[in-house]
Structure 1
Amino acid sequence: MTYDADVVVAGGGPVGLMLACELALSEVPVVVLERLTEVDTTIKAGAINTPSAEAFYRRGLLPELVEVQRTVLGRFSSFLSQRQAAGASVVRQPPKFAGHFAGIMLRGDLLDEADPDFEAAGPAADVGLVPQEPLERLLAARAAELGVEVRRGVTLTGFDADEDGVRVHTSQGTLRTGWLVGCDGGRSTVRRLAGFPFPGTAPGITGRQALVEMTGTEALGTGWNWTEHGTYAHGPVPGRFLTVEFDGPPADREAPVTAQELEASLRRVSGVDEVRVHKVISATRFTDNARQVPDYRAGRVLLAGDAAHVHSPFGGQGLNLGIGDAMNLGWKLAATVRGRAPEGLLDTYTAERHPIGAWVLDWTRAQVALMRPESHAGALRRIVAELTGTVTATTFFAKKISGVWQRYDLPGDHPLTGRSAPDLELSDGSRLGDHLRDGQALLLDLADDAELRKCAAGYGGRVRLLTTGCPQRPELAGLLVRPDGCTAWAADVPGAPASTVDAGGTASAPNGPDGPDGPDGLAAALRRWFGSPADPTG
């Protein structure tokens, strides 16, 4: 089959655009199909987590994110000023924000910032308050810079897939492609037409999130509030609120969200009858429907983001889970398209991402259970709130919410293996993140090791070798960093003290030459992720 594009991505939201950018970095021709003619302005995710911030940082997007965050923080200050000027009953500057669990706010002043899991992200650790709409605009601009073809106003209507490729049928004709990736949301057309199973738990709540013009808000509490009729959040920007009612899912998810519906819900939940919603700027409904496909791939069709997993938005995990999918899949699919992938590489996409998706589903289910307006949930909520008044519990929850706990189960005993690579400060003044912008794998030789360089000799064009030093971590001998930023192999200098301990307190294993953290382990990792080395005589 002759292809119009090697990959077609259905869905031009943040996940689809991120995936397209990753493919374009590897010079894979990609077309993105998006049914909307403009960037979606519906109020959605309000923040990104640490793995997402690291991904954008490693692709050179951190300055733009910093500017977005500065704007958001200005809106937070404006909200508090407006509340104070309006004579609201309770106006207080919140402590440093560290996230929330089921609406229970985590105090940043109780966070153990010396925890080693928080030290690895470098400048990316300072960026988080980035809403979905400006992020999508940023990614659309980057996709255009990379030459990605984004076709807006185009609807995918069907496809025919076989072992040679996929014919994608759209409202504007048919495209022939090698691979189709569904990034088309929770009600994914690609998932439905491909016949992916979608097991999980049915919805039991109706949530509404909105940005509106309203009056009569003086008696509303700021932040998260629980009542006998549900849960509501007010702020942290002017006109923004969220309600959760536990009387079942909405009768019609597709119906327009009106000012009358929003006003009635906020009154019911809050008990504040003076609230008036005059104009809806943006609004959406959501439920706690929690489902996940067992395998993210069916032949030449793959899923990423909400197309592969859906859940309630509590804890802000959805957008971030999708960005992680895109980063994991992008380089693997690109290697497959270009004929460089070792056997089974594409299958590791599901193997690595499915467990993290399953954790997110349970994380959101637990929060819904804790938020219910009944006595048993209330008692448990009070106990959890008491726990979060401690440094240990706040740090635990913050690590989970931020995503710094995430690790893939990869061969090797070194504590860094399988984790996001630490943003090391190198002896030439650069940081590790500076060397990952082109989306290529990186082998860091930190101990001037000829054996290490010998292992990398056959991987020119697939793995970039950088010999340098790292005064910050002198015990490290080397790191192999995959294109998605994951540490595929790490080793310490022979005889050096263990470089670190993992979350369970397990120290590094000794580096024997035949062990997983020695030269043989590096050779195995290179073959596992990047195939056989080229013949130096050929």
Structure 2
Amino acid sequence: MKKVIIVGAGPSGLILGLLLAKAGIEVELLDAGSEIDKQPRAAHYASPAVYELGRAGVLEDVKERGFQPEGFAWRQLDGTLIAGMSHAVLPIEYPTRMVVLPLDRLGEVLYEHIQRQPTAQVKWSHRVVHVGQDEDCAWVEIETPDGVKRSEADYVIGCDGASSTVRRELFGPEYPGETLDAQIVATNVYYDFDSFGYWDSNTIVDPENWYLAARVTTDGLWRFTYGDKPGLSKEEYLARQPQRYEALLPGNPKPGQYKITNISPYKLQQRCAPSFRVGKILLAADAAHLCNPFGGLGLTGGIADIGSLFDSLIGIHKGLADESILDKYSEIRKRIWTEIIDPISRENFRRLHDQDPTKARENDEFFKLCVKGETDEQVAKDIALGLDIVRHDMTQYYTK
């Protein structure tokens, strides 16, 4: 294998590019944007994602710029604790203990590292508009500042997100799945949740006023994501923000008592591409599948895709596997989405609003497990490492 083209220089594309470049493979990363995406977005990396950050050689930098959370709590709207899961049961030096760093800052770390690789190039303002292949190579047609160009490689990898051009070129505009009948508003805000006894991450269980409040930096920035009425315009959601904050946040603050840095209303999606491989063209992360953000399965599952795809490609590169391992990659990652990520993420979302919060501790099976973990350290460790099930070791399919 001489060259791989990766479409999309977000975190997933950068991690894959870094892993491949370190293996001596020429990597061309193409991104329509002019620089690293500066939107903070998600921030929590569970154990399978931490494993891949370690393999890419960036984990220590991520820990230094981020932090390792102590635990997650589920609460009633008045703050009463329903149940919690602890990460403190894992030693701070545990190799795949969860780490938190907003995606824009992770992108900065990854970009710094990939720039040191002589076999990697990141090309900004390079919009891929067409993708194709023949018996010898895969190719992309690119709109660049210097005109339309064409580039060829052994493989083209679509890591270009939910609106993936690569996926549309393979399967058309339809992204199979559904848009959930719910509206969320994601905000990043400086507010003193600590004074109300909040843990590093807190989910409010309530039929109407459910939300998630999670610390994302050590300087007081929190990710506050709440539900709102479906069917309004973006302008209406922005106008409703002050009253929603006053109704939801502990302390019922007025504008001026908090500082919002980002706000973005969006719909929840559960979608999966028909296949993650068509010949020499492959898909990974959001280009391949989407789920709602509750539980962090989208981010962690996407980075787990990257680990599986890297092992498959490097197996081919080293002569340890033939190209059929890429079909196995597609089969297994699609099955993991279908059997694990999709149902668990749906259940995580249902848990927020589809039960009586005053009885949830006694009735909800997951909460009952968390309660057991309060006195059983092994159960607590198993819960903390629960998302290990989305990681899959592709080296077991090597034929040599």
- Which TM-score band (shorter chain)? 0.7 to 0.9
- Does the residue aligned with 2:54 lie in a helix, a strand or coil? helix
Partner residue of 2:104 out of 126, 129, 133: 133
Note if contact 2:177-2:270 (Cα within 8 Å) is conserved in structure 1. Answer: yes
Matched with 1:444 is none
Partner residue of 1:124 out of 83, 90, 95: 95
User: CA separation of 1:190/1:260 partners in 2, compared to 1, >3 Å: closer, same or farther?
Assistant: same
Note if contact 1:227-1:269 (Cα within 8 Å) is conserved in structure 2. Answer: no
Partner residue of 1:97 out of 71, 74, 77: 71
Deviations 1:427-474 (A, max 9, x none): xxxxxxxxxxxxxxxxxxxxxxxxxxxxxxxxxxxxxxxxxxxxxxxx
Note if contact 1:288-1:365 (Cα within 8 Å) is conserved in structure 2. Answer: no
**1 or 2, which has the higher strand percentage?**
2
Partner residue of 1:177 out of 153, 170, 187: 153
Pairwise CA distance, 1:329: 0.7
Question: What amino acid is aligned across from residue 385 of structure 2 in structure 1?
Answer: S
Note if contact 1:23-1:331 (Cα within 8 Å) is conserved in structure 2. Answer: no
Matched with 1:56 is 53
Q: CA RMSD in A?
A: 3.9
Note if contact 2:17-2:29 (Cα within 8 Å) is conserved in structure 1. Answer: yes
1:159 aligns to 2:131 (yes or no): yes
Pairwise CA distance, 1:149: 0.4
The 5 Å alignment of 1:75-474 reads 96-97=70-71, 106-108=84-86, 123-147=94-118, 148-172=120-144, 173-195=149-171, 198-212=175-189, 222=198, 223-234=202-213, 236=215, 238-245=220-227, 247-248=229-230, 260-267=239-246, 269=248, 274-276=253-255, 280-336=260-316, 341-342=321-322, 344-358=324-338, 359-372=340-353, 379-380=359-360, 383-384=363-364, 385-391=367-373, 399=382, 402-403=385-386, 405-406=388-389
Deviations 1:494-535 (A, max 9, x none): xxxxxxxxxxxxxxxxxxxxxxxxxxxxxxxxxx5154xxxx
Note if contact 1:184-1:306 (Cα within 8 Å) is conserved in structure 2. Answer: yes
Q: Unaligned regions of 5+ residues in structure 2, if any?
A: none
Pairwise CA distance, 1:402: 3.2
TM-score normalised to structure 1 length: 0.61
Query: Following the alignment from structure 2 to structure 1, what is the Cα–Cα distance between the partners of residues 323 and 62?
Result: 37
| Percent identity of paired positions between Structure 1 and Structure 2 | 21
User: CA separation of 1:265/1:178 partners in 2, compared to 1, >3 Å: closer, same or farther?
Assistant: farther
TM-score normalised to structure 2 length: 0.79
Deviations 1:35-90 (A, max 9, x none): 222222212222211122222223433321331234x77xxxxxxxxxxxxxxxxx
Matched with 2:41 is 44
Q: Unaligned regions of 5+ residues in structure 1, if any?
A: 74-95, 409-417, 420-481, 489-527, 532-538
Query: Following the alignment from structure 2 to structure 1, what is the Cα–Cα distance between the partners of residues 109 and 357?
Result: 41
Query: Following the alignment from structure 1 to structure 2, what is the Cα–Cα distance between the partners of residues 165 and 350?
Result: 19
Pairwise CA distance, 1:325: 0.9
- Higher RCO by CA contacts (8 Å cutoff, separation 6 or greater): 2
1:65 aligns to 2:62 (yes or no): yes
Query: Following the alignment from structure 1 to structure 2, what is the Cα–Cα distance between the partners of residues 62 and 395?
Result: 26
Query: Following the alignment from structure 2 to structure 1, what is the Cα–Cα distance between the partners of residues 221 and 330?
Result: 40
Note if contact 1:231-1:244 (Cα within 8 Å) is conserved in structure 2. Answer: yes
Counting matched residue pairs gives 379
Note if contact 1:43-1:210 (Cα within 8 Å) is conserved in structure 2. Answer: no
Query: Following the alignment from structure 2 to structure 1, what is the Cα–Cα distance between the partners of residues 84 and 10?
Result: 30
Query: Following the alignment from structure 2 to structure 1, what is the Cα–Cα distance between the partners of residues 28 and 95?
Result: 30
